[in-house]
Amino acid sequence: MSEKEKMLNGELYDANYDKLLIEERTKCKTLCFQYNNISPEKTDERKKLIKKILGKTKKKFLIEQPFICDYGYNIEIGENFYSNHNLIILDCAKVTFGDNVFIAPNCGFYAAGHPLDYKTRNKGLEYAKPIKVGNNVWIGGNVVVLGGVTIGNNVVIGAGSVVTKDIPDNSLCYGVPAMKIKELPI
């Protein structure tokens, strides 16, 4: 099994020395560099390039610069998606956003993880777990979402939260780690 297949299957893999994964990351990071250096008023050029980076987009969306990701092809965004400045997505596994998702500045979605065992970690091995964000979600500034997490529909994540576990539908959550504070009206 190739390192890419291991990555996509959530198994331990080596991203540091695998030629294909290095090439794919370099290509994506080059496209992100180009995207981040397009003048903001060139909206058509920006949209065309971000569609080239991401695996799937809908019609209406805006990703403010700067934006950084690892592979791009594992990211899917829904209709009426907006992210403010400094979005980072480590997309070694699928990262999916539903419709009407709004992300404040300085947020990170980290599908990548590393073994707790230092001997395994020191070999450069890592794993990836998917992230799924539902519809009608607002994520506050400086939020981190870790791999393996599903955020339900109609959710608000408060600023500065670290989301380590699934978040149910219709919830206001915040904290480190993020916890459900109250039910939101439907």
The residues carrying an active-site annotation are: 114
Check the CA dihedral 107-111-117-120 and report its sign. Answer: negative
Strands laid side by side in the 87-90 sheet: 67-69, 87-90, 108-110, 144-146, 162-163
